[in-house]
Amino acid sequence: MLVASIIAEIALAWLNKHPAAIVTVLGTIKINRVAEALNERDILLSKEEWYRLLENARGMKSFNESNKRS
């Protein structure tokens, strides 16, 4: 369960850093889930990390991977 909550926190942090200023709405009324969601405030994503997550979600190689020499 810990991994699932960390993934959710990273997803919320990613959404909150989105250039379109997405507003997240939690679909829960469970206090523990809301408290877990608030942990995303502690995750600081750089622009590079944000784009790397986007590229990985799209199935693309990240900039760093495509510039590696074989």
Q: Where are the domains of the chain?
A: 2-66
- Number of Cα atoms under 13 Å in the Cβ half of residue 68: 6
pTM value is 0.71
pLDDT of residue 2: 73
pLDDT along the chain (70 residues), means of 10: 80 92 90 88 91 89 57
Single-letter amino acid code for the residue at 69 = R
Dist CA 27 CA 52 (whole Å): 27
pLDDT of residue 62: 56
Q: Length of the chain in residues, anyone? A: 70
Dist CA 12 CA 37 (whole Å): 7
Dist CA 63 CA 34 (whole Å): 34
